[in-house]
Amino acid sequence: MMMEKKQKTRLTAPQVLVLGVIGSILIGAILLKLPISNNNEKSINFIDSLFTATSAVCVTGLNTIVPAEQFTIFGKIVLMCLIEIGGIGFMSFIALLLMIMKKKIGLSERNIIKESLGQNNNKGIINLIKKIFIYLAIIEVIGAILLSIRFIPEYGFKTGIFYSIFHSISAVCNAGFDIIGSDSLIKYQYNGLVSITIMILIIIGGLGFTVWDDIVDLIKKIFNKNIKMNKIGNELSINTKIVLITTAILLVSGTMVTFFLEKDNMQIMKNDNTAQKILKSSFYSTTLRTAGFETIDSTELTTATKFISLIYMFIGGAPGSTAGGVKVTTFAIIFLMIVSYLKGNENTIVYKRKIQEKIIKRAIVIVSVSIFIIMISIMGLSITEDLHAEQLLSESETLTRTIGFLDIFYEVFSAFGTVGLTLGITTKLSIAGKIIIMILMFIGKLGPITISYAVLKKFNNNKNVNYPECDLIVG
């Protein structure tokens, strides 16, 4: 008589992450659908509440509705909580709750937290969680205080405080949600305090949690006079150096590109002085780092600026940050690899260190899979929106399209990079189009590698097998 053994099916860390984010989105969608969340006579349908919840948890900022007009205070608080959960990661919140309840966090939980924070190992992960919440609280409070200087006189004490807290959280989490109106922060395009505060919060959020910790440790050493000023660079990890340098290059180059392409654009900044042009250009460059706020109308940008913006949205922020994209380190690794190869070098060297082959392979896979997903999404969105347009327009008007091809490109890159910028087509999308954008935001938030590990089984059949090499012709 044979006994069948029932094996317990254990979820892997990526699977728990995927299911956790899906659960957060569904709970958020239900809460945002409740009458208490919506203003009178402004009921929201489920697809729009689901879209909003997805955008919030994936810290994107794309909207099919206007949050300022649609939601009550309760709805806005729900939205703010979803943004915070999305920015820091739901597993980090679970870890915090377990710590508050003085529960032990096991190895499996640590592995899941490690995955959610983009860390290579779980050593010191709980200590990092504690630091992240402390850093985040301090940054968000300082941001809220600075914004309140402008918002309290304009909106009154209670509303001004709430607006300050909401937008500080939204900026640090790179979410791009605002509750001021339908024009994002365009009314503050000449206000240096609001613009610069939001920019700084976006940049800090996009640097990543490990970079925060590295910089704080460096500052402590400087104040304690444990290091000499000329040795500061040696105290930072190579990861932090690459993140800071690449981020600076992207921010400065994005500002310069926007400035020179838009300085004579009548609709954007032609009548502004140089300081105002630089402020607008730097804000747009910063918000391309997956933030989604606007102080200029993106629909009025030149075609060249819109096209170049796709590159910055695709790259995004740092790994383990609140930002999306393929990440600045991925971009830097591939760039260094290409330069090394063109120079005839077999190895990729950075700061006198060789980058491991498995890391280079991972970077190539991330970029390749991301490009494939984007191309498929562009084709899918083109088809769904053409069919939608044909249903809405009469036969004699079928050649008229309100959504252009570049608009679709911009929307797809923005969704995948969890940027939140749009050329005004989000509200016009069909249901199928909204679903495509939601899937893109979801993939962009978790990353194609995490999702593939969650969905696909890992086969190790050829792990210890050596095969003879083959000779292929490329190029």
Q: Which residues pair with 241 in a beta bridge?
A: none
Contact 185, 178 (CB under 8 A): yes
Rounded distance between C-alpha atoms, residue 90 and residue 97, angstroms: 11
Over residues 275-322, the pLDDT tens digits come to: 999 999 999 999 998 888 999 999 899 999 999 999 999 999 998 888
Rounded distance between C-alpha atoms, residue 396 and residue 29, angstroms: 39
Rounded distance between C-alpha atoms, residue 166 and residue 177, angstroms: 9
Residues 6+ apart with CB under 8 A from 126: 95, 99, 105, 110, 113
Among the listed residues 448, 450, 366, 463, the one whose alpha carbon sits nearest the alpha carbon of residue 12: 450
Residues 6+ apart with CB under 8 A from 320: 117, 118, 119, 208, 209, 210, 211
In this structure, how many other beta carbons lie within 10 angstroms of the beta carbon of residue 29? 22
Provide the residue-wise pLDDT of the chain in tens; the chain has 475 residues: 344 444 456 777 778 788 888 999 999 999 999 999 998 777 899 999 999 999 999 999 999 999 999 999 999 999 999 999 888 876 676 776 667 766 676 666 676 666 666 666 666 677 878 888 888 899 999 999 999 999 999 999 999 999 999 999 999 999 989 999 888 899 999 999 999 999 999 999 999 888 888 898 888 888 877 777 667 777 888 999 999 999 999 999 999 999 999 998 888 888 899 999 999 999 999 999 888 899 999 989 999 999 999 999 999 999 888 888 999 999 999 999 999 989 888 888 888 889 999 899 999 999 999 999 999 999 999 999 888 887 776 554 544 556 788 999 999 999 999 999 999 899 899 999 999 999 999 999 888 888 887 777 555 555 567 778 777 777 6
Contact 174, 418 (CB under 8 A): yes
How do the domains of the chain map onto residue ranges? 13-366, 367-455
- What is the pTM for the complete model shown? 0.90
Contact 132, 252 (CB under 8 A): no
Q: Rounded to 5 degrees, what angle do the CA atoms 368, 372, 376 make?
A: 170
